[in-house]
Amino acid sequence: MQKNELNDLGSIILDACITVHRELGPGLLESAYTRTLIREFELRHIGIKKQVPVELVYKETPLGKVYVIDILVEDEIILEIKSVETILPIFIFQVITYLKITDNKLGYLINFNVPLLKDGFKRIVNNF
C-alpha cells in the first residue's frame, strides 16, 4: 500500500475510534473497546484480523509465537488497544516492536481511557 493510501486508511481508523469513544466513553475494559471497534470496522467494510500471533525469529531460528497484535487492519496497519490511566513508554515500544517484526509501516496506539480520544491516539511509523 502506498503512503497516501495508508494515511487515508489511518483517517478512517481515527474516525472509527472516535465513533466508538463517543458511544462508550472512557472507563471500560480494553476488551469492550476492541470488540466494539471490530464491529465498527465491519460496519465500514474494513478488513481486519484480531488477535494476530507474531512469531519471533532469532538468528534465523523461529522461536514461536511471542506477541499478539490486537487488531491488524487490511493486513497493513497495527492497532494496539489500551484502556489505561497513562500511556507508558513500554506501550510505544511494543508497537514499534510489532512494526519491526512484521515489517509493517504504520501502527496506532489507542488509549480509550481519556476524556478526548485525540489525547489517547498515537501514530507510530516504521520506515514510512
Q: Measure the CA angle with vertex 95, ends 93 and 72; round to 5°.
A: 170
pLDDT of residue 50: 97
Strand partners, 83: none
Report if pTM > 0.95.
Answer: no
Residue 127: pLDDT band (50, 70, 90) is: confident
pLDDT tens profile 2-28? 999 999 999 999 999 999 999 999 999
- Phi/psi at 76 (5° precision): -125, -40
| Region of poorest pLDDT, from 44-48, 56-60, 67-71, 103-107 | 56-60
pLDDT of residue 68: 95
- Report the relative pairing of strands 48-58 and 61-73 from DSSP bridges: antiparallel
Asked if pLDDT for residue 85 goes beyond 80, the answer is yes
How far apart (Å, rounded) are the C-alpha atoms in residues 18 and 7? 16
Residue 72: pLDDT band (50, 70, 90) is: very high
Domain boundaries, the chain: 3-125
